[in-house]
A = this chain, B = another copy of it.
Amino acid sequence: MVRAGLSPERLTLAGAELADEAGFGQVTLSALARRFDVKPASLYAHVKNSHDLKTRIALFALEELADRVADAVAGRAGKDALTAFANAYRDYARAHPGRYEAARYRLDPQTAAASAGVRHAQMTRALLRGYDLAEPDQTHAVRMLGSVFHGYASLEAAGGFDHTDIAAQQSWAWTLDCLDTALRSRSAS
């Protein structure tokens, strides 16, 4: 009986890969067990249950995405930062659809508060410093940007832009341009 060398970390990573390949909805303890050539019951020694596994994948994805965004916006400001932020976000969703879906997995408030989700909010606010918005406008802007980024990524992933043959990339650039204009026009200064 050779041991498979399971651990919460390996299961989480393998779960993320499985999500990208087959969709987050296909991430099951059974499927993961098959991937490690192990019986499903064996996984319960490393993760509490199915929900725990999904939560770990979600936290992992949030962290990874936050890292990429942080990397992208480093040393940039204004529209340059906006574009970098937005592209990092969209690129992640395209490269890792399953992980992106996982990042939207509903977390309980405590877990969410301790997650990289707060870094996302902080980075968005940092990004907006370039637009000099006073409260409550800044919060409005955070929500608007979040909506556009998530909405676009979500619709694009669902194939919502496949009907028309105008490239999704062009609409994305156009949208970012709109956002930049809108934010600049609302600048306090």
Contact = CB atoms under 8 A, between A and B. Distances in A.
Nearest to A158: B106
Q: Range of interface residues on chain A?
A: 35 or more
Interface string A170-189: 11001100110111011000
A154 B101 CA distance: 13
Contacts of A161: 143
Given A140-B170, A144-B148, A147-B152, A186 B175 contact: no
Contacts of A179: 182
Contacts of A166: 135-136, 139-140
The 7 closest A-B pairs by CB, nearest first: A151-B151, A147-B151, A140-B174, A147-B152, A178-B182, A140-B171, A143-B171
A108 B6 CA distance: 38
